[in-house]
Amino acid sequence: MRRIAVCPGSFDPVTLGHLDIITRASQLFDKVIVLISTNANKKQASFTATERMMMIADATEHLDNVVIDILDGLLVDYVKRVQAVAIVKGLRAVSDFEYEFQMALTNKALYAGAETVFLTTSQENMYLSSSVVKQIAYFGGDISRFVPACIQEAIQKRLTQQGGDKFEY
Protein backbone atom coordinates (compact mmCIF):
# COMPACT_ATOMS: atom_id res chain seq x y z
CA MET A 1 0.00 0.00 0.00
CA ARG A 2 1.32 3.41 -0.97
CA ARG A 3 1.36 6.02 1.77
CA ILE A 4 -0.25 9.14 0.35
CA ALA A 5 -0.14 12.48 2.17
CA VAL A 6 -2.03 15.64 1.38
CA CYS A 7 -0.29 18.95 2.07
CA PRO A 8 -3.03 21.59 1.88
CA GLY A 9 -2.66 25.34 1.82
CA SER A 10 -3.41 28.50 -0.08
CA PHE A 11 0.23 28.89 -1.26
CA ASP A 12 -0.43 32.48 -2.31
CA PRO A 13 2.44 32.50 -3.24
CA VAL A 14 4.49 29.43 -2.40
CA THR A 15 7.51 30.27 -0.21
CA LEU A 16 10.74 28.52 0.71
CA GLY A 17 9.04 27.63 3.99
CA HIS A 18 6.29 25.80 2.10
CA LEU A 19 8.88 24.14 -0.11
CA ASP A 20 10.80 22.94 2.96
CA ILE A 21 7.70 21.26 4.41
CA ILE A 22 6.77 19.74 1.02
CA THR A 23 10.31 18.41 0.52
CA ARG A 24 10.45 16.87 3.99
CA ALA A 25 7.00 15.32 3.53
CA SER A 26 8.16 13.82 0.22
CA GLN A 27 10.85 11.97 2.15
CA LEU A 28 8.31 10.52 4.60
CA PHE A 29 5.53 9.48 2.21
CA ASP A 30 5.36 7.61 -1.08
CA LYS A 31 3.27 10.34 -2.68
CA VAL A 32 2.57 13.91 -1.59
CA ILE A 33 -0.32 15.85 -3.04
CA VAL A 34 0.17 19.58 -2.64
CA LEU A 35 -3.41 20.73 -2.47
CA ILE A 36 -4.23 24.32 -3.30
CA SER A 37 -7.33 25.02 -1.31
CA THR A 38 -9.70 27.90 -0.90
CA ASN A 39 -9.64 29.53 2.51
CA ALA A 40 -13.00 31.17 3.18
CA ASN A 41 -11.40 33.33 5.91
CA LYS A 42 -8.86 34.95 3.60
CA LYS A 43 -9.55 37.78 1.21
CA GLN A 44 -9.13 37.41 -2.53
CA ALA A 45 -5.94 35.63 -3.56
CA SER A 46 -3.14 37.46 -5.36
CA PHE A 47 -2.72 34.55 -7.77
CA THR A 48 -5.33 32.30 -9.34
CA ALA A 49 -5.36 28.65 -8.32
CA THR A 50 -3.99 27.74 -11.76
CA GLU A 51 -1.14 30.25 -11.42
CA ARG A 52 -0.30 28.87 -7.97
CA MET A 53 -0.40 25.36 -9.37
CA MET A 54 2.08 26.28 -12.11
CA MET A 55 4.43 27.98 -9.64
CA ILE A 56 4.38 25.01 -7.26
CA ALA A 57 4.94 22.62 -10.17
CA ASP A 58 8.07 24.57 -11.16
CA ALA A 59 9.33 24.75 -7.58
CA THR A 60 8.83 21.01 -6.98
CA GLU A 61 9.83 19.59 -10.36
CA HIS A 62 12.85 17.93 -8.72
CA LEU A 63 10.56 15.92 -6.40
CA ASP A 64 9.36 12.85 -8.30
CA ASN A 65 6.66 11.89 -5.81
CA VAL A 66 4.95 15.29 -5.56
CA VAL A 67 1.83 16.21 -7.51
CA ILE A 68 -0.31 19.32 -7.32
CA ASP A 69 -4.08 19.56 -7.29
CA ILE A 70 -6.77 22.16 -6.60
CA LEU A 71 -9.66 21.81 -4.17
CA ASP A 72 -12.77 23.88 -3.62
CA GLY A 73 -14.48 21.87 -0.93
CA LEU A 74 -13.90 19.99 2.28
CA LEU A 75 -10.41 18.69 2.84
CA VAL A 76 -11.63 15.49 4.49
CA ASP A 77 -13.71 14.60 1.43
CA TYR A 78 -10.59 14.92 -0.71
CA VAL A 79 -8.46 12.94 1.76
CA LYS A 80 -11.03 10.14 1.71
CA ARG A 81 -11.32 10.18 -2.08
CA VAL A 82 -7.56 9.87 -2.71
CA GLN A 83 -7.14 7.40 0.19
CA ALA A 84 -4.49 9.52 1.88
CA VAL A 85 -3.07 8.32 5.19
CA ALA A 86 -2.11 11.79 6.42
CA ILE A 87 -2.66 15.51 6.20
CA VAL A 88 0.69 17.31 6.51
CA LYS A 89 0.77 20.77 8.05
CA GLY A 90 3.75 22.99 8.79
CA LEU A 91 3.99 24.82 12.09
CA ARG A 92 5.99 28.02 12.55
CA ALA A 93 4.98 29.06 16.05
CA VAL A 94 2.72 28.21 18.97
CA SER A 95 0.05 30.48 17.48
CA ASP A 96 -0.04 28.25 14.36
CA PHE A 97 -0.50 25.20 16.57
CA GLU A 98 -3.72 26.43 18.20
CA TYR A 99 -5.46 26.94 14.87
CA GLU A 100 -4.02 23.81 13.22
CA PHE A 101 -4.83 21.65 16.26
CA GLN A 102 -8.44 22.83 16.10
CA MET A 103 -8.56 22.03 12.37
CA ALA A 104 -7.00 18.59 12.95
CA LEU A 105 -9.62 17.73 15.57
CA THR A 106 -12.41 19.00 13.32
CA ASN A 107 -11.13 16.95 10.37
CA LYS A 108 -10.88 13.87 12.60
CA ALA A 109 -14.47 14.41 13.76
CA LEU A 110 -15.65 14.63 10.15
CA TYR A 111 -13.61 11.63 8.99
CA ALA A 112 -11.95 9.17 11.37
CA GLY A 113 -9.24 8.41 8.78
CA ALA A 114 -8.01 12.02 8.74
CA GLU A 115 -4.69 11.82 10.58
CA THR A 116 -2.76 15.08 10.77
CA VAL A 117 1.04 15.14 10.88
CA PHE A 118 2.67 18.36 12.03
CA LEU A 119 6.14 19.24 10.77
CA THR A 120 7.90 22.07 12.53
CA THR A 121 9.43 24.65 10.28
CA SER A 122 13.15 24.99 9.88
CA GLN A 123 14.56 27.77 12.03
CA GLU A 124 15.37 30.01 9.07
CA ASN A 125 11.70 29.98 7.99
CA MET A 126 10.02 30.63 11.36
CA TYR A 127 8.97 34.17 10.44
CA LEU A 128 8.21 33.48 6.79
CA SER A 129 4.68 33.61 5.40
CA SER A 130 3.05 34.37 2.08
CA SER A 131 1.72 37.60 3.60
CA VAL A 132 5.24 38.75 4.47
CA VAL A 133 6.45 37.95 0.94
CA LYS A 134 3.53 39.86 -0.58
CA GLN A 135 4.18 42.94 1.52
CA ILE A 136 7.92 42.99 0.74
CA ALA A 137 7.28 42.49 -2.99
CA TYR A 138 4.58 45.17 -3.05
CA PHE A 139 7.09 47.76 -1.90
CA GLY A 140 9.76 46.54 -4.31
CA GLY A 141 11.86 44.73 -1.71
CA ASP A 142 14.13 41.77 -2.39
CA ILE A 143 12.21 38.50 -1.95
CA SER A 144 14.99 36.25 -3.28
CA ARG A 145 15.67 34.74 0.16
CA PHE A 146 12.01 33.87 0.66
CA VAL A 147 10.74 32.25 -2.55
CA PRO A 148 12.09 29.68 -5.02
CA ALA A 149 14.33 31.38 -7.59
CA CYS A 150 12.39 29.85 -10.48
CA ILE A 151 9.25 31.83 -9.60
CA GLN A 152 10.68 34.98 -8.04
CA GLU A 153 10.34 37.18 -11.12
CA ALA A 154 6.72 36.16 -11.73
CA ILE A 155 5.82 36.96 -8.13
CA GLN A 156 7.53 40.34 -8.26
CA LYS A 157 5.81 41.28 -11.53
CA ARG A 158 2.41 40.55 -10.04
CA LEU A 159 2.88 42.06 -6.62
CA THR A 160 5.02 45.16 -7.06
CA GLN A 161 3.25 48.52 -6.87
CA GLN A 162 4.35 49.26 -10.40
CA GLY A 163 3.50 45.79 -11.75
CA GLY A 164 -0.16 45.62 -10.83
CA ASP A 165 -1.90 43.01 -12.92
CA LYS A 166 1.11 41.90 -14.92
CA PHE A 167 1.69 38.19 -14.65
CA GLU A 168 3.68 36.41 -17.25
CA TYR A 169 4.17 32.82 -16.42
130 is catalytic: yes
Known active-site residue 92? yes
Distance (Å, whole) CA 150 – CA 80: 33
Q: Which of 10, 18, 26, 37 is catalytic?
A: 18
Our answer to whether residue 42 is catalytic in this structure is yes
Which residue among the candidates 42, 81, 145, 166 is catalytic per the annotation? 42
The single residue of 46, 89, 130, 158 carrying the catalytic annotation is: 130
* Eight-class DSSP state of 50: H
Among 24, 31, 80, 92, the active-site one is 92
Q: Catalytic annotation on 62?
A: no
Buried b or exposed e, range 83-98, using 16+ CB within 10 angstroms: ebbbbbbbbbeeebee
- Selection from 18, 10, 21 nearest residue 72 by Cα: 10
Residues involved in catalysis:
18, 42, 92, 130
